[in-house]
Chain A
Amino acid sequence: MKKLLLLLAILGITTLAFAQHTETILKKTIINKLFTCPLDKMLDTIGQKYRLNIVFERDSLNKFDVVEHFFEEPLKNVFERVCSQNNLHYWIESDGTIYILQNTDDLERLKKLNATNHLFQGKAKLNIEPAKGPPTHFLFSINGRVIDQSTGESLPSATVSVRNTHLSTSTNTDGNFTIFNVPSDTCVVEVSYSGYQPDDMRLDAKKINTTLVFGLFKALNTLNEVTILGKKSGVMTTDTKKVGVLQLTPESLDKLPNLGEKDILRAFQLMPGVGATNESSSGAYVRGGTPDQNLVVFDGFTVYQVDHLYGFFSAFNSNAVKDVQLYKGGFSSIYGGRLSSVTEINGKDGNKNQPSFGVDLSLLSLNAFAEIPINDNSSLLVAFRRSYQGPLYDKIFKQFNTSTVDAGNGGSGGRPSGGGFNESTTPASHFYDADARYNYKLDANNIFTWSLYTGEDVTDNSRALQIPSFISTGGNINITDYTKYGNLGSSIKWFRQWNKHIHSNTYITYSSYFNNRDDSNSGTTIDSYGDAESFDRGTLETNNLKDIGFKSEWEWELSNKIKILYGGFGNYQKINYDYIQNDTTSLISQHNQAFLGGGYVETEIDPDNKLHLQPGLRTTWFEPTGKIYLEPRFSASYVVNENYTLKAATGQFYQFINDVTREDIADGNRNFWVLSNNTNIPVSEARHYMAGISYENDQFLIDVEGYYKTLSGLTQYTISQSQITPGSTTNTIEQDFYNGSGQAEGIEILLQKKLGRYTGWIGYTLANAEDKFAVYGNSFYPADQDIRDEFKSINMYHYYRWNFAAVFIFSTGHPYTSPLSTYTITSVDGNTLTSYNVSKINSERLPDYHRLDLSATYDLLKLSSQKIGSIGLSLFNVYNHANIWYREYQVVNNQVITTNVKYLGFTPNITLSLRWK
């Protein structure tokens, strides 16, 4: 072993090459030998002969006998053969050690065994080269990059520290880091990142003038860390500097129950402070905010439609996503334009070293991706998924769309048959989305990235009818009922490292959103004289938004104590919303455009290792109002000791765009975006005050955060449609703009078990969200999204290649408005009008929401213990609890009939995931 280390040291190979060296030995070494011995003896022989450190449990492997003649076989094949024959796996750790495993969970035990052996033999586990001589440089700064060794993908939020000092930092979204005042050029830099093996590097006079690259190896897939972590908690990183931040890496999402798709936005809903009971929206209800108050940024561009299938699935393909950050409030001045929260999604660069492919197949959709390195400097990732109209899709579709109701006459489910005159069709419906990302590295300091996202939901309920002769003398009708909504977004990013201390990201972005519905019928009828008459009527509703933007974000590290973030942005937004009836009547016609632009500056101040202060200021000029909006922000944290951290944040936030819902009971509500203006839609404003304390040790994390928010200039824009009589051909549209204010407050408690076979967390939120709109009176009432108590219990158990998860969610019911009584009067035409006497707005509560989801995932492993896929079974709402979404009221025979419209009941799903490299 000593010789091997010496050999490696002489060759000057740094640590990240140890594993590669072992791989090379395995591939290049050719074996010509007959083994007739127990397996442990064989491994001893090979280890000694080829200077490999092979670690195994002698007692167990002694029981396996090897009788095999290897003839011109590479050593790798020998390992694979004996492992395969004896149901074993092998694993190469980043230090080059080969572990022989009966179960993947054995690794930890064997690692300890290995360390003890070394200690016992008086050999320190030394896999870092010694200093070459006395230090020659002092108090300099270093910069570098942390990447995944196998794919070349940069790793954000990895912890980088200098051994035996207090110097520590974490990598930014591009995987870059800078450390100032490094004491000497003989120091050791250590890097750690969740899900990867830690790495370290000895500095020398030469290295400190280059960009240090740390290529981390993936850790063996064992669930000894929870998958979703508050970054603030320091479990994943030691970055205690941020308040209310959640971070997620989509790769581990297959360990949680899912309904057809690994859903990054749904996963956040398992954390305290993010509402988990809105099955009809995968948008984030964060701390009493609504999804339209959550800014969703994907590779630099804003995404306006964040979900598919009436909100059931988020629009983002987890295979194309590297990581996601959710800022629950009090966020940095880099972000703006939303009142409540920010979800920042970074796309994957794709494997830069070798092509890799993957497929996920579930009862809902097919999801495929390819990562292709094009040349040394560029790589391409494409990902595509499409739903198919299987039973699971139909079940969810019908939950949100009642227009498929069979009008009797048998459920033929296709085109109506000739003689009948029913409308029993099942609309053709699907969603798809596609991602493409091209990464081009011009040189070490300039990287260009082009990212494209497009997604659509299409429902086509169009059909042709023959008018039966008993109604008319003939004719035909073409009914068009076509709904399409979606997004197209793209960005070009230029990353530039100007020098060791300054780098910038500059974006040109484009994002568009459209939501169109054509509900019309046209055709001919033949009147009693035999003359054909043609007709064309119906409604056409179109909403489209275009957002073209430019932004440049700069980071300047002045010293270990001060970092300045600054930048500028400009956006041009244009929204068209038309609702046209019978080709001529324009019911709604809104055409708005706006330019907004501004800048921000923020300083990160770390006077010592305990205190972190982050004051910032953002300013925006909004053309329609002609005003400048100033948004001061401030956040701070204080590390009391190694267990306790205190943190607080405050800030002011403006929003210039609003999401509007046009209610449509039959075909699902439809959402539109409208810009603020100077008249009936004001620019809305929020103030956040939040503070928290966290306690953390090796095993547990307890995190408590409280928040208080005030909101003003809120707009409720409702569009209602009334049709007075059945004979009436024109609808009247009523648009109401109600302005009001709101407030939200709450406490979030998170208790997390971080290590072991059993991991998970309990989250509890006590919250209150209220609105005050003059139209409903002068007092605050519970906001639609108000939830008093929310309890979440996420339990994961790892058993060899199995991962089991149980997720239980309980929450107080949503507030709602109910009829108290009815009254009937006669109108002037002699007909009766029955009206409801309605309770105070949102004064009633729906029953409590609760459900249990279970899942089991079995990992598919190669003999080298590399994960190549998984098979998962998920059970949603296991005990089939009828959670109520809302209530419907109808007057039938003068009585009020109440119908509970329910959320999804028990629903199973199976997912198969495969990966190839």
Chain B
Amino acid sequence: MEIKNSLLKVAFSLTLSMLFLSCQKENTGSTSVNLPVVESYLTPGHPIIVKISEQKSLTDTAEYGKPITGLQVFVSDGTTNVQLAEASAGSYTYTDLNFLVTGKTYTLQFKYQSLTVSAKTIIPAKPVNFVTQYDTVSIGSSGFSDISTIDRLSWDNPSSLNHVLVFDCLDGSAFPVNVNSFNSAANTSFEENTTAASYYNLNQKTFPYLGNYLVTLLSVNQEYINLITSSTNNATSQNLSNVPTNIVNGFGIFTAMQADTLKMEVNE
């Protein structure tokens, strides 16, 4: 009977403990909707601009969140801590062009609703030897053109650092490559991740429009790559996750980059 009793005890203590465990309350509270959104790209030789806004409710039809005004925003390079001035609603600037220096780490900090919001970034080196194989490239008129390489952009990248290419069609959307194509609503400017390589191959599909292009090679930090490679397309309740951010107690991006540019022409 002893066995019976101990077995009974085991069964019931297990049963009881389960009842208690199952009744624990879930912690679902979240105040993250009040956190501010930061957007700032630091480039040496340019003023610091930090845009700070609120998040938008799911039903909000405005493009951007409401600017947050009246904040005391500081950027520090480790030794000097400067306060930014609010140039326009929610846009804080610092105009000393000598403040940002390659290789230095900068820290953003401000207080919002009793929380200290901060972010850190390092100024990457300026791209070197950015060249194009051809200054002018021709593409066919077909929308189903092949994907063989028509031009190669290259630069020095011995340490496999992150770079992003930005293409801006200076002639706008006047001459689309494909009339009535699937991509007729393509933007006149777009960016490509070079996946830390030292070159990027261009093909006919790269260009939605004919015309003169300003191509900018940006040396960027990982936080920027994280941002642009996180797709929010096809979000479902099964795969939804936060887009990576380097802002503590906030969302958005505070990152530094340096640019080199070249021009090229795309014709038929």
Contact = CB atoms under 8 A, between A and B. Distances in A.
A899 B142 CA distance: 36
A648 B224 CA distance: 55
Contact of A727 (B7, B57, B183, B193): B183
Interface in B153-203: 164, 166-168, 178-181, 183, 186-187, 189-193, 195, 203
B22 A788 contact: yes
A298 B189 CA distance: 57
Contact of A888 (B19, B205, B230, B235): B235
Interface string B21-61: 11000111010110101010100000000010101111111
B179 to A, nearest CB: 7
Interface stretch (A122-130, A390-398, A838-846, A866-874): A838-846
Nearest to A477: B144
Interface in B90-126: none
> Closest 8 CB pairs between A and B?
A816-B237, A527-B140, A525-B142, A535-B146, A835-B243, A821-B55, A896-B58, A825-B39
A836 B58 CA distance: 9
Interface of A: 467, 470-473, 475, 477, 523, 525-529, 533-535, 537, 582, 611, 636, 638, 640, 646, 648, 663, 665-666, 689-693, 704, 706-708, 718, 720-729, 732, 734, 745-747, 766-768, 779, 782, 784, 788, 816-841, 843-844, 846, 886-891, 893-896, 898, 901
Given A646-B11, A726-B186, 17 more contacts: A471-B179, A525-B142, A535-B147, A663-B234, A689-B14, A691-B14, A704-B15, A722-B230, A722-B231, A728-B192, A747-B22, A820-B33, A828-B166, A831-B191, A840-B30, A841-B241, A890-B235
Nearest to B178: A471
Contacts of B235: 819, 836, 888-890
Contact of B228 (A718, A745, A827, A841): A827
Contacts of A638: 3-4, 7
A73 B235 CA distance: 76
Nearest to B37: A823
Contact of B257 (A477, A745, A828): A828
Contact of B190 (A666, A727, A818, A838): A727
A887 B234 CA distance: 11
B22 A745 contact: yes
B65 A823 contact: yes
Interface string B216-246: 1010000010011111101111111111000
22 contacts: A471-B179, A475-B144, A477-B144, A525-B143, A525-B145, A665-B236, A708-B17, A724-B228, A725-B187, A746-B22, A819-B235, A822-B55, A823-B53, A824-B56, A825-B37, A828-B164, A830-B187, A831-B191, A838-B240, A840-B30, A895-B58, A896-B59
Nearest to A782: B26
B208 interface: yes
A648 B59 CA distance: 53
A837 B30 CA distance: 11
B251 interface: yes
Nearest to B250: A823
Given A691-B14, A829-B166, A472 B143 contact: yes
Contacts of A527: 140-142, 145
Most buried by A among B17, B216, B239: B239
A481 B103 CA distance: 49
Contact of A832 (B63, B146, B231): B63
B191 A827 contact: yes
B266 to A, nearest CB: 12
Contacts of A747: 15, 18-19, 22
Given A471-B179, A708-B14, A822-B58, A663 B239 contact: yes
